[in-house]
Amino acid sequence: MSAPVDVVLSTLDKVKKSGKGWLACCPAHDDRSPSLSIAEGDDGRVLLHCYAGCDTRAVVESAGLKMADLFPEGLSLEVRQEYQRRSADSTPFGHSAHADPDTCSTIIRTGSRSAATQGLHC
């Protein structure tokens, strides 16, 4: 079975390594220069952020995927609770996104700006 990040990367165009993650063209808009940031969380979840402003659901659906495809199978209750705790705190930049696999809610932090919340339901 492939890791979720490998599944996501296989659906994207112009993928290139960038730091600890990847950049690619966003499938949700006419992207000629990669504006989609892709990273893998410590537990294997996929973190997505489109710098042009596309919401995560649009990116995922345009890639022909489901929100559940961003998460590894078999996440324990303990891990889900940790997502909820992290989502409620003010983790500094560098921890770019937190997700709750039960609701597919994602909090994305960019630069020094406040968290931008996208409530998504699988």
**Per-residue exposure over 13-32, b if at least 16 CB sit within 10 Å of its own CB, e if not:** eebeeeeebbbbbbbbeebe
Q: What is the DSSP string of 78-103?
A: HHHHHHHHHHHS-PPTTS-EEEETTT
Question: What was the pLDDT predicted at 84?
Answer: 52
Averaged pLDDT for residues 34-50 = 94
pLDDT tier at 67 (50, 70, 90 boundaries)?
A: confident
Two structure tokens written together for 41: 């969380």
Pair 31, 22: CB distance under 8 Å: no
Chain mean pLDDT for the chain: 75
Predicted confidence (pLDDT) per residue in 72-117, tens digit: 887 666 765 665 566 455 443 334 444 545 445 444 444 433 333 3
